[in-house]
A = this chain, B = another copy of it.
Amino acid sequence: MTLLWRRTLGTPQGARGPKQRVSVDEVIQAGIAVADADGLPAFSMRKVADRLGLKLMSIYTYVPGRPELIGLMVDEVTGEIPHPPHHGDWRSRLTAVARHQWDEYHRHPWLLQVESSRPWIGPNGCDRYEWQLAAVDGAGLTDIQMDQVVTMVLAFTAGAARMSVLARHTTEESGISDVQWWDANAPILEKVMPPGAYPLAGRVGTAAGEEYNAVSDPDRSFRFGLERLLDGVEVLLR
Protein backbone atom coordinates (compact mmCIF):
# COMPACT_ATOMS: atom_id res chain seq x y z
CA MET A 1 0.00 0.00 0.00
CA THR A 2 2.75 2.42 0.93
CA LEU A 3 4.53 1.32 -2.22
CA LEU A 4 1.45 1.85 -4.37
CA TRP A 5 0.99 5.41 -3.19
CA ARG A 6 4.73 6.12 -3.00
CA ARG A 7 4.41 9.11 -5.35
CA THR A 8 2.04 11.05 -3.11
CA LEU A 9 3.57 9.77 0.13
CA GLY A 10 7.16 10.50 -0.78
CA THR A 11 10.20 8.41 0.12
CA PRO A 12 10.16 7.51 3.84
CA GLN A 13 13.27 9.17 5.28
CA GLY A 14 16.28 7.73 7.07
CA ALA A 15 18.21 5.38 4.82
CA ARG A 16 21.00 4.06 6.93
CA GLY A 17 22.42 1.14 4.97
CA PRO A 18 24.09 1.06 1.54
CA LYS A 19 22.40 2.86 -1.31
CA GLN A 20 19.97 0.78 -3.35
CA ARG A 21 21.46 -0.10 -6.73
CA VAL A 22 18.16 0.36 -8.55
CA SER A 23 14.78 1.88 -7.71
CA VAL A 24 11.37 0.39 -7.01
CA ASP A 25 10.20 1.84 -10.33
CA GLU A 26 12.95 0.01 -12.17
CA VAL A 27 11.93 -3.22 -10.48
CA ILE A 28 8.34 -2.66 -11.59
CA GLN A 29 9.41 -1.83 -15.15
CA ALA A 30 11.57 -4.94 -15.27
CA GLY A 31 8.63 -6.97 -13.97
CA ILE A 32 6.37 -5.59 -16.70
CA ALA A 33 8.98 -6.43 -19.33
CA VAL A 34 9.24 -10.01 -18.09
CA ALA A 35 5.46 -10.46 -17.94
CA ASP A 36 5.04 -8.96 -21.41
CA ALA A 37 7.59 -11.40 -22.78
CA ASP A 38 6.69 -14.60 -20.95
CA GLY A 39 3.21 -14.23 -19.48
CA LEU A 40 2.29 -14.39 -15.82
CA PRO A 41 2.70 -18.13 -15.18
CA ALA A 42 6.30 -17.95 -16.41
CA PHE A 43 6.91 -14.65 -14.63
CA SER A 44 9.48 -15.30 -11.95
CA MET A 45 11.40 -13.24 -9.43
CA ARG A 46 14.65 -14.68 -10.77
CA LYS A 47 13.98 -13.31 -14.26
CA VAL A 48 13.27 -9.87 -12.83
CA ALA A 49 16.52 -10.00 -10.88
CA ASP A 50 18.52 -11.15 -13.91
CA ARG A 51 17.14 -8.30 -15.99
CA LEU A 52 18.33 -5.80 -13.37
CA GLY A 53 21.75 -7.37 -12.87
CA LEU A 54 20.85 -8.30 -9.32
CA LYS A 55 20.70 -11.66 -7.60
CA LEU A 56 17.40 -13.26 -6.81
CA MET A 57 17.06 -12.43 -3.13
CA SER A 58 17.86 -8.73 -3.52
CA ILE A 59 14.48 -8.18 -5.15
CA TYR A 60 12.85 -8.92 -1.82
CA THR A 61 14.41 -5.78 -0.34
CA TYR A 62 12.38 -3.72 -2.82
CA VAL A 63 9.04 -5.51 -2.73
CA PRO A 64 7.65 -7.96 -0.17
CA GLY A 65 6.95 -10.74 -2.65
CA ARG A 66 5.62 -11.86 -5.97
CA PRO A 67 1.91 -10.96 -5.50
CA GLU A 68 2.75 -7.46 -4.29
CA LEU A 69 5.04 -6.86 -7.25
CA ILE A 70 2.28 -7.91 -9.61
CA GLY A 71 -0.11 -5.52 -7.88
CA LEU A 72 2.37 -2.70 -8.42
CA MET A 73 2.81 -3.69 -12.06
CA VAL A 74 -0.95 -3.54 -12.61
CA ASP A 75 -1.26 -0.03 -11.24
CA GLU A 76 1.79 1.03 -13.23
CA VAL A 77 0.40 -0.05 -16.61
CA THR A 78 -2.96 1.46 -15.65
CA GLY A 79 -1.24 4.83 -15.66
CA GLU A 80 0.86 4.12 -18.73
CA ILE A 81 -1.38 5.86 -21.28
CA PRO A 82 -3.06 9.03 -19.96
CA HIS A 83 -6.84 9.05 -20.17
CA PRO A 84 -7.82 11.39 -23.00
CA PRO A 85 -10.34 14.08 -21.93
CA HIS A 86 -13.91 13.17 -22.79
CA HIS A 87 -15.74 14.91 -25.59
CA GLY A 88 -18.77 14.08 -27.72
CA ASP A 89 -21.82 12.15 -26.59
CA TRP A 90 -21.92 9.28 -24.13
CA ARG A 91 -21.77 6.76 -26.94
CA SER A 92 -18.44 7.91 -28.31
CA ARG A 93 -17.14 8.32 -24.75
CA LEU A 94 -18.02 4.77 -23.78
CA THR A 95 -16.46 3.55 -27.00
CA ALA A 96 -13.25 5.34 -26.03
CA VAL A 97 -13.34 3.72 -22.58
CA ALA A 98 -13.79 0.26 -24.07
CA ARG A 99 -11.14 0.78 -26.73
CA HIS A 100 -8.69 2.07 -24.14
CA GLN A 101 -9.15 -1.09 -22.09
CA TRP A 102 -9.02 -3.30 -25.19
CA ASP A 103 -5.70 -1.79 -26.26
CA GLU A 104 -4.30 -2.17 -22.78
CA TYR A 105 -5.15 -5.86 -22.68
CA HIS A 106 -3.37 -6.32 -25.97
CA ARG A 107 -0.31 -4.39 -24.83
CA HIS A 108 -0.14 -6.42 -21.61
CA PRO A 109 -2.01 -9.70 -22.04
CA TRP A 110 -0.94 -10.89 -18.60
CA LEU A 111 -3.46 -8.43 -17.10
CA LEU A 112 -6.06 -11.06 -17.93
CA GLN A 113 -4.14 -13.64 -15.92
CA VAL A 114 -3.97 -11.61 -12.72
CA GLU A 115 -5.88 -13.30 -9.94
CA SER A 116 -5.39 -10.84 -7.18
CA SER A 117 -6.88 -12.43 -4.12
CA ARG A 118 -7.02 -8.84 -2.88
CA PRO A 119 -7.71 -5.81 -5.08
CA TRP A 120 -4.89 -3.32 -4.65
CA ILE A 121 -6.31 0.19 -4.86
CA GLY A 122 -3.60 2.36 -6.35
CA PRO A 123 -3.63 5.94 -7.59
CA ASN A 124 -3.89 5.02 -11.26
CA GLY A 125 -6.72 2.58 -10.56
CA CYS A 126 -8.64 5.41 -8.88
CA ASP A 127 -8.05 7.77 -11.79
CA ARG A 128 -9.20 5.09 -14.19
CA TYR A 129 -12.50 4.49 -12.40
CA GLU A 130 -13.22 8.21 -12.18
CA TRP A 131 -12.55 8.60 -15.92
CA GLN A 132 -14.75 5.64 -16.80
CA LEU A 133 -17.67 7.00 -14.77
CA ALA A 134 -17.23 10.43 -16.36
CA ALA A 135 -18.01 8.84 -19.72
CA VAL A 136 -21.63 8.27 -18.72
CA ASP A 137 -22.03 11.25 -16.42
CA GLY A 138 -24.90 13.51 -17.41
CA ALA A 139 -26.45 10.98 -19.78
CA GLY A 140 -29.52 10.59 -17.63
CA LEU A 141 -28.61 7.44 -15.72
CA THR A 142 -28.97 6.90 -11.99
CA ASP A 143 -25.80 6.42 -9.96
CA ILE A 144 -26.42 2.69 -9.81
CA GLN A 145 -27.03 2.49 -13.53
CA MET A 146 -23.82 4.39 -14.21
CA ASP A 147 -21.91 1.77 -12.26
CA GLN A 148 -23.74 -1.04 -13.98
CA VAL A 149 -23.21 0.29 -17.49
CA VAL A 150 -19.50 0.79 -16.93
CA THR A 151 -19.18 -2.64 -15.35
CA MET A 152 -21.02 -4.18 -18.28
CA VAL A 153 -18.74 -2.56 -20.87
CA LEU A 154 -15.67 -3.66 -18.94
CA ALA A 155 -16.92 -7.21 -18.54
CA PHE A 156 -17.60 -7.52 -22.25
CA THR A 157 -14.27 -5.95 -23.15
CA ALA A 158 -12.38 -8.29 -20.84
CA GLY A 159 -14.14 -11.35 -22.25
CA ALA A 160 -13.61 -10.30 -25.86
CA ALA A 161 -9.98 -9.38 -25.19
CA ARG A 162 -9.40 -12.74 -23.57
CA MET A 163 -10.60 -14.50 -26.72
CA SER A 164 -8.50 -12.21 -28.89
CA VAL A 165 -5.33 -12.62 -26.89
CA LEU A 166 -5.78 -16.38 -26.69
CA ALA A 167 -6.24 -16.62 -30.45
CA ARG A 168 -3.16 -14.49 -31.10
CA HIS A 169 -1.12 -16.47 -28.63
CA THR A 170 -2.14 -19.75 -30.23
CA THR A 171 -1.11 -18.62 -33.70
CA GLU A 172 2.18 -17.11 -32.59
CA GLU A 173 3.16 -19.87 -30.21
CA SER A 174 2.50 -22.81 -32.49
CA GLY A 175 3.60 -21.02 -35.66
CA ILE A 176 0.61 -22.60 -37.36
CA SER A 177 -2.06 -20.38 -38.86
CA ASP A 178 -5.75 -21.01 -38.28
CA VAL A 179 -6.18 -22.34 -41.79
CA GLN A 180 -3.20 -24.68 -41.62
CA TRP A 181 -4.34 -26.00 -38.28
CA TRP A 182 -7.85 -26.57 -39.55
CA ASP A 183 -6.64 -28.32 -42.68
CA ALA A 184 -4.55 -30.65 -40.53
CA ASN A 185 -7.38 -31.47 -38.13
CA ALA A 186 -10.27 -31.68 -40.58
CA PRO A 187 -9.51 -35.24 -41.75
CA ILE A 188 -9.38 -36.51 -38.17
CA LEU A 189 -12.59 -34.76 -37.23
CA GLU A 190 -14.41 -36.08 -40.27
CA LYS A 191 -13.54 -39.61 -39.26
CA VAL A 192 -14.52 -39.07 -35.70
CA MET A 193 -17.68 -37.00 -35.97
CA PRO A 194 -20.94 -38.66 -36.99
CA PRO A 195 -21.77 -37.15 -40.41
CA GLY A 196 -24.62 -34.67 -40.28
CA ALA A 197 -24.50 -34.50 -36.51
CA TYR A 198 -23.62 -30.81 -36.48
CA PRO A 199 -25.61 -29.12 -39.27
CA LEU A 200 -25.55 -25.58 -37.83
CA ALA A 201 -21.96 -25.73 -36.64
CA GLY A 202 -20.91 -26.96 -40.05
CA ARG A 203 -22.86 -24.33 -41.99
CA VAL A 204 -22.04 -21.37 -39.77
CA GLY A 205 -18.46 -22.47 -39.19
CA THR A 206 -17.85 -22.68 -42.92
CA ALA A 207 -19.47 -19.30 -43.57
CA ALA A 208 -17.45 -17.69 -40.79
CA GLY A 209 -14.23 -19.31 -41.98
CA GLU A 210 -14.71 -17.93 -45.49
CA GLU A 211 -15.67 -14.48 -44.25
CA TYR A 212 -12.81 -14.12 -41.76
CA ASN A 213 -10.16 -16.18 -43.56
CA ALA A 214 -9.59 -17.60 -40.09
CA VAL A 215 -11.43 -19.41 -37.32
CA SER A 216 -12.39 -16.08 -35.76
CA ASP A 217 -11.94 -12.34 -36.18
CA PRO A 218 -11.55 -11.03 -32.64
CA ASP A 219 -11.34 -7.33 -33.45
CA ARG A 220 -14.48 -7.51 -35.56
CA SER A 221 -16.26 -9.45 -32.82
CA PHE A 222 -15.31 -6.76 -30.34
CA ARG A 223 -16.63 -3.96 -32.51
CA PHE A 224 -19.83 -5.83 -33.31
CA GLY A 225 -20.53 -6.69 -29.69
CA LEU A 226 -19.80 -3.19 -28.47
CA GLU A 227 -22.26 -1.68 -30.96
CA ARG A 228 -25.02 -4.06 -29.80
CA LEU A 229 -24.20 -3.27 -26.20
CA LEU A 230 -24.42 0.47 -26.78
CA ASP A 231 -27.69 0.03 -28.69
CA GLY A 232 -28.94 -1.70 -25.56
CA VAL A 233 -27.92 1.25 -23.42
CA GLU A 234 -29.76 3.54 -25.82
CA VAL A 235 -32.92 1.49 -25.30
CA LEU A 236 -32.43 1.87 -21.57
CA LEU A 237 -32.16 5.64 -21.85
CA ARG A 238 -35.61 5.88 -23.47
A-side residues, CB < 8 A to B, are 1, 5, 8-9, 39, 41, 113, 115-119, 121, 123, 126, 129-130, 133-134, 137, 143-144, 146-149, 151-152, 154-160, 162-163, 166, 169-170, 173-174, 181, 185, 188-189, 192-194, 197-201, 203-205, 207-208, 211, 216, 220-222, 224-225, 227-236
Identical chains bound together, number: 2
Question: Which one of B113, B129, B158, B229 contacts A232 once the chains associate, using CB atoms below 8 Å?
Answer: B229
Q: Which residue on B lies nearest to A128, using beta carbons?
A: B201
Q: Say how far A108's CB is from chain B's closest CB, in angstroms.
A: 15
- C-alpha gap A203/B9 in the complex (Å): 25
- Interface contacts beyond A123-B192, A148-B221, A155-B159: sample of 5 additional A-B pairs, CB < 8 Å, sorted by A: A8-B194, A123-B193, A133-B201, A152-B225, A158-B158
Q: Which residue on B lies nearest to A137, using beta carbons?
A: B200
Question: Which one of B148, B160, B170 contacts A118 once the chains associate, using CB atoms below 8 Å?
Answer: B170
